[in-house]
Amino acid sequence: MTDLKVEKIGWIGLGKMGTPMAANVMQAGYRLVVFNRSIDPVGPFVEKGAAFAQTTSALAQECDVVFSMISDDLALQNITVESGGLFESAPAGLVYVDMSTVSPSVSERVARVAADKGIQYLRAPVSGSTSTAALGALTILASGSKDAYERCLPVLQVLGKKLYYLGPSEQARYLKIAINMMVGMTSAMLGEALTLAERGGVDWTQMIDVVNNSVVASPLVGYKASMLTTRNFSPMFTSSQMAKDFDLALDAGRNGNVPMPLTAVARQFLGAMIASGRGELDFFAYVTLLEELAGLRGQSCQC
Question: Residue 1: which pLDDT band, with cuts at 50, 70 and 90?
Answer: very low
Cα gap 285→301, rounded to integer Å: 9
Residues 103 and 183 in one domain: no
Q: What is the CATH number of the domain that holds 196?
A: 1.10.1040.10
Residues 150 and 233 in one domain: no
Closest CA to 248 of 178, 143, 170, 165: 178
* Chosen domain end from 108, 137, 169: 169
* pLDDT value of position 8: 87
What's the average model confidence in pLDDT over 230-255?
96
- pLDDT(293) > 90: yes
Q: Which of 5, 8, 162, 176 is catalytic?
A: 176
* Residue 224: active-site member: no
Cα gap 105→111, rounded to integer Å: 10
- pLDDT(297) > 80: no
Range of the domain at 225: 174-293
303 lies in some domain? no
Could you give the number of structural domains in the chain? 2
What's the whole-model pTM score? 0.92
Residues 178 and 48 in one domain: no
Cα gap 171→183, rounded to integer Å: 19
R_g of the chain computed on alpha carbons: 21
* Chosen domain end from 154, 169, 184: 169
Question: Residue 233: which pLDDT band, with cuts at 50, 70 and 90?
Answer: very high
Question: Residue 302: which pLDDT band, with cuts at 50, 70 and 90?
Answer: low
Residues 60 and 189 in one domain: no
**Residue 287 near residue 191, CB atoms below 8 Å:** yes
Cα gap 71→83, rounded to integer Å: 19
| Chain segment 184-218, per-residue pLDDT in tens | 999 999 999 999 999 999 999 999 999 999 999 99
Residues 16 and 136 in one domain: yes
| Chain segment 6-52, per-residue pLDDT in tens | 478 999 999 999 999 999 999 999 999 999 999 999 999 999 999 99
| Chain segment 87-123, per-residue pLDDT in tens | 998 999 999 999 999 999 999 999 999 999 999 999 9
Residues 131 and 201 in one domain: no
**Residue 291 near residue 260, CB atoms below 8 Å:** no
* Chosen domain end from 141, 169, 197: 169
Average pLDDT of the chain to the nearest whole number:
94
- Sorted by sequence, the CB contacts under 8 Å of residue 54 that are 6+ apart come out as 35
Question: Residue 239: which pLDDT band, with cuts at 50, 70 and 90?
Answer: very high
- pLDDT(255) > 90: yes
* pLDDT value of position 7: 74
Q: What is the CATH number of the domain that holds 126?
A: 3.40.50.720
Residues 165 and 44 in one domain: yes
Residues 187 and 165 in one domain: no
- pLDDT(2) > 90: no
Residues 67 and 135 in one domain: yes
Cα gap 93→11, rounded to integer Å: 17
